Amino acid sequence: MGLFTKDIKTLDDLFLHGLQDIYYAENQIAKALPKMIENASKTELKKGFETHLAETENQVKRLEQVFEMLPAEASGKKCPAIDGILKEGDEVMGEVADDDVRDVAIVAAAQAVEHYEITRYGALIAWATELGRGDCAAVLKKNLAEEKATDAKLNAMAEKRVNPRAAAQPRRGVTRKTAAAARSRTSKKKTAARKPARRRA
């Protein structure tokens, strides 16, 4: 069930529904991470997912704290968006045979998950603040900070570790020689511009 349903009439309803949405998502992610750990070939990537699994389990507990603050029953509502993202990642892991390429695909799938979580937590924090629930917002901000940190680590891994060739390659159509020649031409133009023009006799 998505965010736009007939049972949502107030911002309080929307906040609770969004909380149930992310609660469902976090639980599904916790179930999916062990398979990502199993399929990842690089040690750094495996350890990164193991760390995030522990974080995700803790994030679920924080969400349960927020439910208690409302107070409301801690329950999740099926979220087609996160189900689709996780299913796509699962299919990619089964289709890619090359270890390096599979690692790159897993990182991309994991980042799609993180981006979804970041947008959801951002909205929930804004709604909690508007409702005067700074206590809820403070707890949710801890989860958001961890999601942003994980996304940054995944991005760094994709550029420098998981996909080193892509990070090292110059831009398409620009070789080292052409880049050096361009810098040389630019330098000459700047030098010429600094020289005072000769006065005619």
What is the spatial distance between Cα 78 and Cα 51, in angstroms, rounded to a whole number?
Answer: 26
115, part of any domain: yes
130, part of any domain: yes
What pLDDT digit, counting tens, does each position of 183-201 carry? Answer: 555 555 545 545 555 555 4
190, part of any domain: no
197, part of any domain: no
Cβ(77)–Cβ(15) under 8 Å? Answer: no
The predicted pLDDT at position 188 comes to 53
**Which percentage of the chain shows pLDDT scores above 90?**
68
Read off the CATH number of the domain in which 81 is found: 1.20.1260.10
CA 182 to chain centre: 36
User: Could you list the residue range(s) of the whole structural domain that residue 77 is in?
Assistant: 11-172
Number of domains into which the chain is organized: 1
181, part of any domain: no
Q: Is the dihedral of CA 74, 72, 140, 3 positive or negative?
A: positive
What pLDDT digit, counting tens, does each position of 102-120 carry? Answer: 999 999 999 999 999 999 9
Task: Grade residue 168 by pLDDT with cuts at 50, 70 and 90.
Answer: low
What is the spatial distance between Cα 85 and Cα 110, in angstroms, rounded to a whole number?
Answer: 9
Q: 198's torsion region: left (phi>0), alpha (psi -120 to 50) or beta? A: beta
Q: Three-class SS of residue 62?
A: helix
185, part of any domain: no
The predicted pLDDT at position 86 comes to 96
What is the pTM (predicted TM-score) of this model? Answer: 0.77
182, part of any domain: no
What pLDDT digit, counting tens, does each position of 30-44 carry? Answer: 999 999 999 999 999
199, part of any domain: no
The predicted model gives 91-99 an average pLDDT of 86
Task: Grade residue 93 by pLDDT with cuts at 50, 70 and 90.
Answer: confident
Does the pLDDT of residue 125 top 60, yes or no? yes
